[in-house]
Structures are given as C-alpha cells and as structure tokens.
Amino acid sequence: MKYLVTILAIVGLMSCGTDNSSSPAEKPATKLEPSTPVQKATSDTVDVVIKVGDEMKFSENRIIVEQGDVVRLKLEHTGTMPKTSMGHNWVLLKNGVNVSDFGMAAASAKDNDYIPANMQQDVIAHTKIIGGGESDEIIFQAPEEGAYEYICSFPGHYGMMKGKLVVM
Ligand code: ZN
C-alpha cells in the first residue's frame, strides 16, 4: 500500500510538473488577445447591394453605416436595356453640394462617365455607368457622421434616382 501511495504521489508531482510547463505556453495565448480588436476592425466592412433595372429607381433609398466603416458597395443592373439608354450609376455627393446643379452638369459629361470633370471634388465615391446585366463594385470609407445624398447621374435620372447614406 505504501508503494501505491508513493506512486500516486509521483504521478501527482508529474502532473503538477506538466501543469507548470504548460502555463508558460498559455502566456502567448493571452498575448494574442490584443489582436481581437484588430479582428473587429476588419469585420467593420459593410456590404451594400443596390439593385437597379429598366426603370429609374434604386432598390435602396436609405443606407445606414457607421463612421469609419469600410463600405463595399455593389451596384447591380438587373434589367436588359443598354447603358446608352437606361444606364445607371451610384454617385455619393459631399454635404452642401447642390444635387440639381450636379445632375445638370453631369448630363453633359458623357465622356467622363457622367461625372462632371470640374465637380469631381464634390464626389465622395461613385461607380461607373452600367447597363442591363452588368454590375460594378466600389470600396470606400464612410465619411464623418451625417447624411449624404446619392444619385444616379445618368441624364434625367437624378430627380427620381436618389437616396441618403446616413453615417452614424
Ligand atoms: Zn439611372
């Protein structure tokens, strides 16, 4: 019986020994914890899909994101009409930009994808003009808090095709 107790004691010591040796190994694991916020930062990519078709309408008239979010926006034309007659884009304007002024200037900027060359500084982000069956994806960082207007700058569309990107 004494032998057994001794053996148990040794086993106990050994297991203590392995516990001790495993605890330094745990330290790198705790060191990894600061990387958790980094993972959260990368998960702040927000996917937005806006559908358009053979009519002057965005599927979304309001998009809500948070300041600093990386917005991955996909514009999808589900119609069949070509971009020459029913082309659409998605143009996010800075605050204070007059939508009508921009829309009218854009109508004569066909060669620049309907983004007026002298008003590019008014644009936060924009897709290209797409026609039926096409899509375009852009990535941009959400600006500071506020409500920003977006439009389709294809001639005659901005009156109907508009919405707000709300940054909270
Ligand atoms: Zn349009």
Residue 133, token pair as written in the block: 């069956």
Residue 25 CA to chain centroid, in angstroms? 38
Contact of 66 with 168, CB cutoff 8 Å: yes
Give 146 Cα–ligand 1 centroid separation in angstroms: 24
Type of residue found at 106: A
- Written as tens digits, the pLDDT of the chain (168 aa) is 444 444 444 444 444 444 444 444 444 444 444 444 444 345 589 999 999 999 999 999 999 999 999 999 999 999 999 999 999 999 999 999 999 999 999 999 999 999 999 999 999 999 999 999 999 999 999 999 999 999 999 999 999 999 999 999
pTM summary value: 0.75
As a whole number of angstroms, the distance between CA 140 and CA 123 comes to 12
As a whole number of angstroms, the distance between CA 34 and CA 26 comes to 15
Give 20 Cα–ligand 1 centroid separation in angstroms: 67
Give 67 Cα–ligand 1 centroid separation in angstroms: 27
Residue 63, token pair as written in the block: 């998009």
As a whole number of angstroms, the distance between CA 140 and CA 47 comes to 11
Ligand 1 ion: nearby residues, β-carbon < 5 Å? 88, 152, 154, 157, 161
Count of Cβ atoms closer than 10 Å to residue 95 Cβ = 12
Give 78 Cα–ligand 1 centroid separation in angstroms: 12
Give 11 Cα–ligand 1 centroid separation in angstroms: 77
